Amino acid sequence: MKNTKRLNWFLIGSMVIFPLMAYFHLSIGEIQINFSDLKNSIFSYDAQNTAQLLAHEFRFPRLIMACVAGAGLSLAGMLMQTLFNNPLAGPYVLGVNSGASLMVAISLLTGIQFFGTNLGLISAALIGAFAAGMLMMSVTSFLKSQVSLLLVGLMFGSFTSAIVSFLEVSSKAEQLKSFTLWSMGSLQNVLLEQIPLILFFFLIGIVLSALIVKPLNLLVIGENAASLLGIKIQQTRIVILVITALLTGLITAFCGPIAFVGLAVPNITRILLKTQNHSQLILGNLIIGSTFLVACDTFIQYLESSVQLPINVLTSLIGAPFVIIVLIRRTK
């Protein structure tokens, strides 16, 4: 009862905060766009009008990408935290991002023709994220401590960085440039016509997550107990891995690496909702994740005239201290 009340307040709050944040995100920046141009850019779009062009082709795709990236990474992070029963798990910490980045590096730095396309880049990121997830999952069976798992994730990140550095040294100038630009991370490069494809994969991730709510709820009490209650652990693990790889790979391919969102937001959601019910947690992560990244990006746009801040830098500035706080709290 108390939880339902909390969830209701949370939803009411989100219904106020998110639209406000989205409006700020759309309207502020070096060039301010008024409400009328924003509205017309959707309902009676005129490409000759610069304000409408900016809103239609730049601001809306950027807003949608910020929502998808924030929500997707948070959802992926929540799933990994439940799977590994570890609040410090997340696609970035456990090397899923690193796997995606490695494959993108291979695709951009080796000059293989197929990878020079959008589809090639997405495929590379998905393959990399999935392979890294598989690797981490197989490693867990050999490790007893959760800290060891995080260390393996860290080592895997260093290992992939070393391969990327090696590829960078032996690549051509143009290839190196393309990869460097991608690795800076950006929410701005996505095109309006790519949005349907992104939303399609994003929705698959959400639907699959919704389908495994029951196993997720039971995984909280431990794999053995969940197994005794009839949960097919191996099957659940694979589905979680597929969702995580899909979401992380998709977002990494389009935005580059974005750190710590997948780690920090699921923890914030748990603190706010005080529940282990995954149907509520999924909803909470989607809302808080998207609001969080939209807020970060709005802040960046607001500061644009005085400071140039890449999105990955801001999320790391917020996320890294958060990880330290979580670690200290757990040690106590």
Partner 1 sequence: MAVLSSTHIGMLNELNAINTIAAISNVKYVYQREVKSGIKSGQIISLGDEGQISIDKLLQSKTKVMIYSAFSGEFSQQKKLDKLGIISIPNYDWRETTPLGKADWLLLFGYLTDKQKQAKERIARLNTLYSLGIIEGKKIKNNEIFLLGNQMGDYWYAPAGESYQAILLKDAGINYLYSNTKGTGSLALPMEQVIKDAEKATIWLNPGFKSKKEILLSNPKATFLTVFQKGKIYCYSANMNNFWENSTIQPHWFLHDLHEIKANTATNENLYFYKSVE
Least distance to partner 1 from the beta carbon of 65, Å? 12
Among 5, 308, 331, 332, binds partner 1 (CB under 8 A): 308
Rule CB under 8 A: is residue 184 a binding residue for partner 1?
A: yes
Which part of the chain contacts partner 1 (CB under 8 A), choosing from 4-12, 64-72, 122-130, 169-177?
Answer: 169-177
Contact positions with partner 1 (CB under 8 A) in 21-50: 29-31, 50
Among 26, 54, 104, 122, binds partner 1 (CB under 8 A): 54
Which part of the chain contacts partner 1 (CB under 8 A), choosing from 140-148, 155-163, 178-186, 217-225?
Answer: 178-186
Q: Please, which residue, 59 or 278, has the CB nearer to partner 1? A: 59
Which part of the chain contacts partner 1 (CB under 8 A), choosing from 52-60, 72-80, 85-93, 231-239?
Answer: 52-60
* Total interface residues for partner 1 by CB under 8 A: 31
Rule CB under 8 A: is residue 188 a binding residue for partner 1?
A: yes
3-state SS, the chain, equals CHHHHHHHHHHHHHHHHHHHHHHHHHHCCCCCCCHHHHHHHHHCCCCCCHHHHHHHHHHHHHHHHHHHHHHHHHHHHHHHHHHCCCCCCCCCCCCHHHHHHHHHHHHHHHCCHHHHCHHHHHHHHHHHHHHHHHHHHHHHCCCCCHHHHHHHHHHHHHHHHHHHHHHHHCCCHHHHHHHHHHHCCCCCCCCHHHHHHHHHHHHHHHHHHHHCHHHHHHHCCCHHHHHHCCCCHHHHHHHHHHHHHHHHHHHHHHHCCCCCHHHHHHHHHHHHHCCCCHHHHHHHHHHHHHHHHHHHHHHHHHHCCCCCCCHHHHHHHHHHHHHHHHHHHHHC
Contact positions with partner 1 (CB under 8 A) in 86-145: 116
Q: Please, which residue, 54 or 198, has the CB nearer to partner 1? A: 54
